[in-house]
Amino acid sequence: MDLRHVLFTLALICANDSLSASDDILQWPQISKCRSPEMETFSCFWTAGNFYNLTVPRILQLLYKKSNEEDWKECPDYITSGQNSCYFNASYTSVWTPYCVQLASKNEVYDKKCFSVDEIVLPDPPVHLNWTLLNTSQTGIHGDIQVRWDPPPTADVRKGWITLEYELQYKEVNETKWKELKPRLSTMVPLYSLKTARDYEIRIRSRQRTSEKFGEFSEILYVSFSQIGIGCDHCMEEVEFPWFLVVVFGVCGLAVTVISIMLSKQPRLKMLIFPPVPVPKIKGIDPDLLKKGKLDEVNSILACHDSYKAQLYCDDLWVEFIELDIEDPEEKNRASDTDRLLSEDDLKSHSCLGTKDDDSGRASCCEPDIPETDFSASDTCDATSDSDQFKKATEKEEDLLCLERQDNDESLPNLANTDPQHQCRNTQSENNNVWAPFEDSIESPHLSVHTQISNQNSLTSTDFYAQVSDITPAGRVVLSPGQKSKLGRAQREGCTEQNFTMDNTYFCEADVKKCIAVTTHEENEPHVQEQGYNEDGYFTAESLTTTVANLGAPTAAVPSSEMPVADYTSIHIVQSPQGLVLNATALPVPDKEFNVSCGYVSTDQLNKIMP
């Protein structure tokens, strides 16, 4: 036996060497595939290889083993599936159990495969293909058919043991390439727009639904329309749609149209087809106005736009404004100074929204609301509000306005006593009293004044400014009503008497109620500063949004009672990015002849003032 074995091996090697170069390649016996058509039985097929005939006839065996078994068993049925096959019937098949099969002969194992039956399912092809005509086109050139078939008989689809998918392929008889349809579960499918003059071939194959591999194709089904008398032999060959010509002519026509539109003199048509691209434009700024507008208007526009923070502030306080509106409708109705001013002058018409020049910057700012928004700012002040007191205060203050000067009002002596630093264009002398420096006014009644003013402020109808009186350790800014409010108001009123087209609120206080922080206690001489108008506009917004560095000890809620409060402060140090140290420095007193337009300072005037 050993000798035979050795001889056999030698022969094999020689044969291998001699035959390797030739076409006849020696092949080992191999298991070609194992397949289960219906998941109830399975068969394995192998190829015997070339050397079967060479020396000693080998008897190949197929041995199998289930995963939980130890011994290899021999194939139960070599015949049913044909030559070189092994058939395992239902009793030998366990679907989800791993099997291993090996092709061996006596001592030698040629091939081995491991699998489980659910992985090797390849269904038989469908049977009983047939087709029926659905309809034909009007011209009779095209027709639709419905193809039907039955599932393979071996697959038990009715009991749900196996679920099959079908793929249909069809082509014209003299074509070479098959057209495929998507796999589907149903056993019928329509085919549309088949040419009645041609004959078609159809074939179908199936697979288990979650597998990738298809089984064999079914027999080919021939479709011939002429058999049922519909064939259109005398029909013209359908002309293919001349896509190329259509595209070319379409492009040419379009080009001609476009060119003609562009060259045409008709502006309307041009606008319709080619709408003009909007040029960049800053909202609220009219370039024409900048070119040829009056200085005042230009200043107003610029100021309005530069104080974008004021605008933000506007937006923030817009909400508060609304709240206040709801809360205190009555108090608003009180004849406060602001209201009077507003109603008298029809401030709305002077406001941004009401300017004749629609393009001015004012339109974008919430002008008329600014006075009210100031009051909301005042809510943040520590002022305790007393509505009655406020009422009195407002009424009294009204008297103090430019219109009716009542210098004897005790509550607001400062207004009466102060000397004007600025003059409105309006020559009313009472206006001159408005911009008195604060220090004159700061006396004992200030306390009451303050409270009154704060009451006023809290009732949100009159004051325009608020001072930053304190900064809490948490960083919050405590606002208290400012003396300037009266000034502002008077100023405003005086200014409103003039025919200003710009909104007074801009220049007068930039709508921020600011309690000017007594940041530097060094300076006890706050002077009204000329550029305060403009600065104020910029200032107040900024001061509200920045935490003012308090150099001194945080003053009490009523700082003015202790030290003079500056009307305006200049920026001493900018502690970027969050801090501004305000310095109530004495700036040069403007010339008497300096007539500040109630509102903005012209650049010339500004240059005179600034050191």
Partner 1 sequence: HSLKSLLLVALLVSHMLLTKEGVTSLPICPNGSVNCQLSLEELFDRAVKLSHYIHFLSSEMFNEFDERYAQGRGFIAKAVNSCHTASLTTPEDKEQAQQIHHEDLLNLILGVLRSWNDPLIHLASEVQRIKEAPETILWKAVEIEEQNKRLLEGMEKIVGRVHSGEVENDIYTPWDGLPSLQLADEDSRLFAFYNLLHCLRRDSHKIDNYLKVLKCRLIHDNNC
List contacts with partner 1 (CB under 8 A).
39-40, 67-68, 90, 93-98, 100, 114, 116, 118, 156-161, 163, 209-210
CB of 96 or CB of 244, closer to partner 1: 96
Q: Which is nearer to partner 1, 95 or 141 (CB)?
A: 95
Closest CA to 225 of 135, 319, 315, 138: 135
Q: How far is the CB of 67 from partner 1 (least distance, A)?
A: 5
Nearer to partner 1, 88 or 539 (CB): 88
Contacts of 121 (CB under 8 A, 6+ apart): 35, 36, 37, 38, 39, 162, 208, 211
Cβ proximity to partner 1, 179 vs 209, nearer residue = 209
Q: How far is the CB of 164 from partner 1 (least distance, A)?
A: 11
The encoded tokens of residue 402 equal 């430019």
For partner 1, which is the closer residue by CB, 40 or 374? 40
* CB 311 within 8 Å of CB 537: no
CB of 558 within 8 A of CB of 481? no
* 286, 298 contact by CB (below 8 A): no
* CB of residue 154 to partner 1, shortest distance in Å: 12
What is the 3-state composition of the chain as percent helix, strand, coil, each rounded to the nearest 5? 35, 20, 45
Rounded Cα gap, residues 193 and 175, in angstroms: 17
To partner 1, the closest distance from the beta carbon of 45 in angstroms equals 20
Q: Which residues contact 53 (CB under 8 A, 6 or more apart)?
A: none
Tell the smallest beta-carbon distance from residue 204 to partner 1 (Å): 20
Distance CA 373, CA 460 (A): 8
CA–CA separation, 524 vs 540, rounded Å? 21
Q: Which amino acid is at 380?
A: T
Q: Which is nearest to 495 in space by CA: 381, 408, 403?
A: 403
Q: How far is the CB of 209 from partner 1 (least distance, A)?
A: 7
Q: Which is nearer to partner 1, 210 or 576 (CB)?
A: 210
Q: Which residue, 162 or 596, has its beta carbon nearer to partner 1?
A: 162
Q: Which is nearer to partner 1, 90 or 228 (CB)?
A: 90
* CA angle at 230 for the pair 229 and 236, rounded to the nearest 5°: 130
Q: Give the phi and the psi of residue 340 in degrees, each rounded to 5.
A: -60, -45
How far does CA 361 lie from the centroid of its chain? 30
Query: CB of 256 within 8 A of CB of 248?
Result: no
Q: Which amino acid is at 453?
A: I
Minimal distance, residue 208 CB to partner 1, in Å: 10
Whether the Cβ atoms of residue 242 and residue 250 lie closer than 8 Å to each other? no
Q: Which is nearer to partner 1, 213 or 476 (CB)?
A: 213
Q: What is the nearest approach in angstroms of partner 1 to the Cβ of residue 105?
A: 21
Shortest spacing between CB 89 and partner 1, in angstroms: 11
The least distance separating partner 1 from the CB of residue 107, rounded to whole angstroms, comes to: 21
CB 459 within 8 A of CB 375: yes
Which is nearer to partner 1, 156 or 522 (by Cβ)? 156
Closest CA to 477 of 575, 543, 387, 563: 543
How far is CA 488 from each of CA 27, 77, 219, 253, 484, rounded to the nearest angstrom? 109, 113, 101, 70, 6
Query: Which whole-number Å values give the CA distances from 595 to 234, 422, 535, 590, in the listed order?
Result: 105, 7, 17, 9
Residue 470 CA to residue 222 CA, distance in Å, equals: 98
Q: What's the token pair of residue 358?
A: 């629609």
**C-alpha pair distances (Å), 332 with each of 288, 342, 462:** 39, 12, 9
CB of 157 to partner 1, least distance (A): 6
In three-state secondary structure terms, 414 is helix
Cβ neighbours around 601 below 10 Å, total:
24
Query: What one-character DSSP code corresponds to residue 121?
Result: B
What is the rounded distance in angstroms from the CA atom of residue 350 to the CA atom of residue 455?
28
Give 88 or 225: the residue with its C-beta nearer to partner 1.
88
- What is d(CA 450, CA 360) in angstroms, rounded to the nearest whole number? 37
Q: Which is nearer to partner 1, 124 or 439 (CB)?
A: 124
Q: What's the closest the beta carbon of residue 124 comes to partner 1, in angstroms?
A: 16
Residue (214 or 600) nearer to partner 1, CB: 214
State which residue, 2 or 70, has the beta carbon closest to partner 1: 70
Tell me how far, at minimum, the Cβ of 213 lies from partner 1, in Å. 12
**Residue with token string 């350790």:** 473
Distance from C-alpha of 244 to C-alpha of 599, rounded to nearest angstrom: 73
What's the closest the beta carbon of residue 61 comes to partner 1, in angstroms?
20
Minimum Å gap between C-beta 34 and partner 1 is: 14
* 110/117 Cα distance (integer angstroms): 22
**Toward partner 1, which CB reaches closer, 67 or 137?**
67
